[in-house]
């Protein structure tokens, strides 16, 4: 019996799903395989050490890899080469994490598919492919509404002394007040986007405080105005999301949909279940 291996990879982790017809899907997890941050040797070593799948023991006929950082044919080919080397499977494809979000949430229906996790992205999906996409500029220039975007706001509110006494003391108790140490982690260490996004936890822990709610809503309004509302199709089809930030703050998203006159779509923490359902028909 042949199997399909699906991977959903972000900057921090990759979720692998090995699906076989009429059998229970097996799940695995490794660190992320983002071509922006890793070399070919890094990726091969990671798969060897962390992925508990023995290629020679599994009849894998196809691998579909969806990943953050796959924005061009060059990056797609980079990942496909690694997969072919490690698994010795010729039929491989590497697609963007945005297509994963679209297939997982929309299936074969039309809709607006968005990512709000460590980073952010959006597109109009016509039921078969991404038909329109506003550019994603990454966490330094863009990523509106994302975990990194929210994390920056938390740091700005604390160090610019915008937080009231309650939130200022709470932040200091949790993270300290050493600005130089925080800036060193942001500007000199790897994967600063993940570090910035970690400050989103502070917002989660202080929901209900008006300043926290303002940070979240303002960040999401930026995302809608610069991305979602740029698609004319947003008023004709549901607005779908995947990502930890979207899932955690979905009440704010629903409120904005009501304000803008938009239809609620699916909001998934990860696209895994939706991707399994999408690809199971191919078995």
DSSP calls for 56-87: GGS-EEEEEEEETT--SHHHHHHHHHHHHHHH
pLDDT tens per residue, range 6-19: 999 876 789 999 99
Q: Tell me the CATH number at 144.
A: 1.10.720.160
Phi, psi of 3 (to 5 degrees): -130, 160
If one counts every other C-beta atom within 10 angstroms of the C-beta of residue 273, the result is 13
pLDDT at residue 282 above 80?
Answer: no
**202 domain residue, yes or no:** yes
What span, in angstroms and rounded, lies between the C-alpha atoms of 150 and 268?
Answer: 19
Mean pLDDT of 233-240: 96
Q: Please tell me whether residue 130 adopts helix, strand or coil conformation.
A: strand
Within this chain, do residues 32 and 82 fall inside the same structural domain, yes or no?
A: yes
pLDDT in tens, 74-112: 899 999 999 999 998 889 999 999 999 999 999 999 999
Q: Give the least confident one: 10-19, 206-215, 244-253.
A: 10-19
- The pLDDT of residue 219 is above 80: yes
pLDDT, one tens digit per residue, over 165-203 is 999 999 999 999 999 999 999 998 877 888 999 999 999
Please check the confidence at residue 33 and state whether its pLDDT lies above 90: no
- Co-location of 77 and 155 in the same domain: no
Question: What φ, ψ does residue 112 adopt, rounded to 5°?
Answer: -95, 120
- Residue 283 is predicted with a pLDDT of 66
Range in 41-45, 57-61, 128-132, 135-139 with the lowest mean pLDDT: 135-139
| The last residue of a domain, from among 169, 187, 216 | 216
Query: Which among 186, 216, 246 is the end of a domain?
Result: 216
254 Cβ contact partners less than 8 Å away, ≥ 6 residues apart: 264
Q: How confident is the model at residue 21 (pLDDT cuts 50, 70, 90)?
A: confident
We report the CATH number of the domain holding residue 54 as 3.30.420.40
Q: Does any domain span residue 29? A: yes
**CB neighbour list of residue 217: distance below 8 Å, 6 or more residues apart:** 252, 255, 256
Domain span including residue 12: 3-101+272-280
Task: Give CA–CA dist 139/86, Å, rounded.
Answer: 31
Q: What is the mean pLDDT of residues 21-34?
A: 86
Q: Count the domains in the chain.
A: 2
pLDDT at 150: 97
Does residue 79 lie within any of the structural domains? Answer: yes
Is 240 within a domain? no
| Residue 71: per-residue pLDDT | 83
- Give the separation between CA 100 and CA 95, rounded to whole angstroms: 8
Domain assignment present for 113: no
What is the per-residue pLDDT for 1? 63
What is residue 10's predicted lDDT score, i.e. its pLDDT?
A: 78
Is 17 found in the same domain as 85?
yes
Buried b (16+ CB within 10 A) or exposed e, 85-110: ebbebeebebbbbbbbbbbbbbeeeb
Question: What does the pLDDT average to over 245-258?
Answer: 97
Which of 197, 216, 235 lies at the terminal end of a domain, its last residue?
216
27/89 same-domain check = yes
């Amino acid at each position: 019996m042949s199997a399909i291996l699906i991977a959903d990879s972000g900057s921090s982790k990759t979720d692998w799903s090995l699906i076989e017809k009429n059998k229970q899907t097996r799940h695995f997890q490794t660190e992320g395989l983002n071509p922006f941050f890793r070399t070919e040797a890094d990726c091969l070593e990671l798969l060897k050490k962390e992925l508990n799948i023995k290629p020679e023991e599994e009849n894998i006929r196809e691998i579909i890899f969806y990943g953050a950082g796959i924005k061009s044919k060059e990056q797609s080919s980079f990942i496909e080469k690694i997969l072919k080397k490690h698994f010795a499977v010729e039929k491989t494809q590497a697609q963007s994490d945005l297509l994963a979000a679209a297939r997982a949430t929309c299936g074969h229906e039309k809709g607006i598919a968005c990512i709000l996790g460590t980073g952010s992205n959006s597109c109009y999906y016509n039921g078969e492919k991404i038909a329109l996409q506003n550019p994603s500029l990454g966490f330094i220039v863009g990523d509106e509404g994302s975990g990194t975007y929210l994390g920056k706001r938390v740091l700005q509110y604390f160090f610019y002394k915008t937080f009231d006494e309650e939130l200022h003391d709470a932040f200091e108790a949790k993270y300290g007040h050493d600005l130089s140490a925080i800036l060193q982690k942001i500007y000199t260490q790897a994967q600063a986007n993940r570090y910035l996004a970690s400050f989103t936890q502070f917002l989660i822990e202080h929901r209900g405080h008006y300043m926290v709610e303002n940070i979240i809503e303002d960040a999401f309004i930026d995302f809608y105005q610069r991305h979602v509302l740029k698609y004319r199709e947003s008023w004709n089809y549901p607005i779908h999301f995947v990502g930890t930030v979207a899932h955690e703050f979905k009440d704010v998203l629903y409120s904005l949909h009501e304000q803008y006159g938009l239809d609620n779509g699916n909001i998934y923490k990860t696209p895994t279940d939706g991707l399994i359902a999408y690809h199971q028909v191919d078995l």
